[in-house]
Amino acid sequence: MAVEISIEIAGPAHAAVLARLSGEAFGPGGWSESQMQAGLDAPGTAGFIATSRGSPVGFALWRTVIDDAELLTIGVNPAHRRQGVAAALLESVLAAAAAAQCRRLFLEVAVDNAGAIALYRDRAFREIDRRRRYYRDGRDALVMARQLMQQ
């Protein structure tokens, strides 16, 4: 059965719930409330929260960088995965970035994060670079990008 997901804009007032969602999605690697607050206070940064049956289950943060956009973090509570939550969040980020006249949306993803890479490839993101030892644990990151507007 399809699960109804609603997406809402999140701002600095949502730092606590975003930090909780980040912890649920990433475990100890999630952003703390103060990291989330600092991220949301930075100019050009915005967030979305996904709600299912009245409960927050996923989140995404993105920012504009001149005329490009960057997906900073996205995550979904393990109990609510494979229900289209991340796809709905990504569509909201893509729409907001296009509305902000951004040309491309960039993101970094760990080379062994097969689920996230599948999600991004499925939505027309292409690998454009690889950053060696990008993560604290030494893993490499793929840089992926998707065009948002005709140039």
Ligand X SMILES: CC(C)(COP(=O)(O)OP(=O)(O)OC[C@H]1O[C@@H](n2cnc3c(N)ncnc32)[C@H](O)[C@@H]1OP(=O)(O)O)[C@@H](O)C(=O)NCCC(=O)NCCS
Q: Is 136 in the site for ligand X (CB under 6 A)?
A: no
**Active-site residue flag, 135:** no
* CA distance linking residue 64 with residue 85, whole number of Å: 22
First to last CA, the chain: 40
Q: How far is the CB of 84 from ligand X (least distance, A)?
A: 5
Q: How far is the CB of 150 from ligand X (least distance, A)?
A: 26
Q: Collapse the DSSP code of 53 into the 3-class scheme (helix H, G, I; strand E, B; otherwise coil) and give the result.
A: coil
Q: Considering only residues 43, 66, 82, 136, which one is a binding residue for ligand X as defined by CB under 6 A?
A: 82
Contact 64, 100 (CB under 8 A): yes
The catalytically annotated residue of 4, 24, 91, 120 is: 120
**Structure token pair of residue 89:** 């969040």
Q: Is 122 in the site for ligand X (CB under 6 A)?
A: yes
The catalytically annotated residue of 108, 127, 134, 135 is: 108
CA angle centred on 144, ends 22 and 97, rounded to 5°: 70
Q: How far is the CB of 147 from ligand X (least distance, A)?
A: 19
**Active-site residue flag, 24:** no
Q: Collapse the DSSP code of 118 into the 3-class scheme (helix H, G, I; strand E, B; otherwise coil) and give the result.
A: helix
Q: How far is the CB of 52 from ligand X (least distance, A)?
A: 10
Contact letters (x/-) for ligand X, 39-78, by CB under 6 A? -----------------------------------xxx--
**Structure token pair of residue 63:** 């920012």
Q: What is the DSSP letter of 111?
A: T
What residues line the site for ligand X (CB under 6 A)? Answer: 25-26, 74-76, 81-87, 109, 113-116, 118-119, 122
